[in-house]
């Protein structure tokens, strides 16, 4: 029975070990095949709906018909193996990469790269939303000494070839964003009071925060940024107060008391 459910191909195209009529009873109003079709129809419609919930921005970007096509093929290729629906789309970005329409062509199109990045970003957000951690209230003041700053327990950085975070925010804020052209972008995602915060950031900020993610203190992160990108330390120190205020306001930092 399961084999008849998990592929959305027409019944006549599925190799069955026995006729449906030999397994399922007909009723007063429906044939055996019609009874089974109720399950078949609901299986794909139900999971497609979950995919749309999990990939809201991607569904907007692709349009309903194309999204449905990709989602149905994905569910055929990677049927769920988990008791939780929250991981249903875990391999969707990978699937889009594997099945990109320009695969094998020398000249690549741009839009598949955008869709793949967007799918990966949306799935990442759903994981971050439910990430296990002890959330700490943000009690950082703007004049908190640098050595008492550390990154928030839920803090993730993203680097994309398209303005993914901005596009995503545009979709959820219903601003009807256009499909973007390639443009390197950086973003940070935090969670405070169990709600996500999304922020587009600059490349230098991304690398600075990446250094802190690797364990650097504020000073060490600045040093490594200067070294890696040949920045002038004086200029970095000049803009640091502005960065610090922005990072604290965005909830990137929590209080750290060195032992």
Partner 1 sequence: MSKIGDNYTNTLISLPNPGLGLGLRSKHFNHILEHNPAVDWFEVISENFMDSGGRPRHVLRQIAERYPVVMHGVSLSIGSTDRLNKDYLTKLKLLAGEVKPLWISDHLCWTGVNSLNTHDLLPVVLNDESLKHICTRINQVQDFLERPVVFENPSTYLTFKQSTINEWDFLRYMTEETGCGLLLDVNNVYVSGFNNDFDPAHYIRQLPHDRIVQMHIAGHQHCGTHIIDTHDRQVAHDVWKLFNLAWELTRGVATLLEWDGNIPEFDVYHAELLKAKEFMSSIDGFGITGEQEIANDDVVSNPVNFLVNEVNW
Nearest to 160, CA basis, from 184, 124, 189, 179: 184
36 lies in the site for partner 1, by CB under 8 A = yes
Cβ neighbour number for residue 93 with a 10 Å cutoff:
21
Residue 84 contacts partner 1 per CB under 8 A: yes
Q: Give dist(CA 35, CA 26) in Å, integer.
A: 7
In 3D space, the residue among 45, 23, 9 whose CA is nearest the CA of residue 31 turns out to be: 23
Q: Which stretch binds partner 1 (CB under 8 A): 51-59, 97-105, 137-145, 223-231?
A: 51-59
* Piece of the chain touching partner 1 by CB under 8 A; list 27-35, 96-104, 175-183, 211-219: 27-35
CB distance 99 to 91 below 8 Å: no
The SS3 assignment for 197 reads: strand
Which run of H or of E encompasses 234?
Answer: helix 233-250
- Bridge partner residues of 150 (DSSP): 254
From 93-101, 121-129, 206-214, 249-257, give the range in contact with partner 1 by CB under 8 A.
121-129
Give the per-residue contact string, 181-220, with partner 1 (x = CB under 8 A; - = no).
Answer: ----------x--xxxxx----------------------
Residue from 8, 73, 80, 192 touching partner 1 (CB under 8 A): that is 80
Rule CB under 8 A: which residues touch partner 1?
A: 1-2, 5-6, 22-25, 27-30, 32, 34-36, 38-39, 41-43, 45-47, 49-50, 52-54, 79-86, 88, 125-126, 129-133, 172, 191, 194-198
């Amino acid at each position: 029975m399961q084999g008849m459910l998990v592929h959305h191909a027409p019944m006549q195209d599925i190799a069955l070990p026995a006729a449906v009529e030999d397994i399922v009873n007909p009723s007063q109003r429906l044939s055996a095949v019609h009874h089974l079709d109720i399950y078949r129809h609901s299986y794909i419609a139900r999971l497609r709906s979950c995919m749309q919930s999990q990939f809201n921005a991607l569904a907007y970007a692709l349009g309903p018909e194309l999204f449905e096509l990709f989602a149905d093929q994905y569910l055929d290729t990677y049927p769920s193996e988990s008791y939780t629906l929250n991981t249903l789309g875990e391999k969707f970005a990978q699937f889009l990469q594997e099945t990109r329409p320009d695969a094998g062509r020398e000249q690549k199109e741009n839009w598949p790269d955008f869709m793949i990045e967007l799918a990966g970003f949306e799935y990442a957000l759903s994981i971050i939303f439910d990430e296990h951690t002890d959330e700490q209230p943000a009690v950082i003041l703007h004049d908190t000494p640098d050595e008492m700053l550390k990154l928030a327990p839920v803090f993730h950085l993203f680097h994309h070839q398209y303005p993914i975070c901005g596009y995503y925010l545009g979709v959820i804020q219903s601003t009807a964003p256009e499909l973007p052209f390639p443009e390197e972008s950086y973003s940070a995602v935090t969670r405070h009071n169990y709600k996500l915060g999304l922020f587009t950031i600059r490349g230098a900020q991304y690398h600075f925060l990446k250094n802190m993610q690797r364990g650097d203190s504020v000073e060490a992160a600045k040093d490594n940024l200067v070294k890696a990108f040949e920045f002038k330390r004086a200029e970095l120190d000049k803009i640091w107060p502005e960065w610090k205020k922005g990072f604290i306001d965005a909830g990137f930092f929590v209080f750290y008391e060195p032992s």
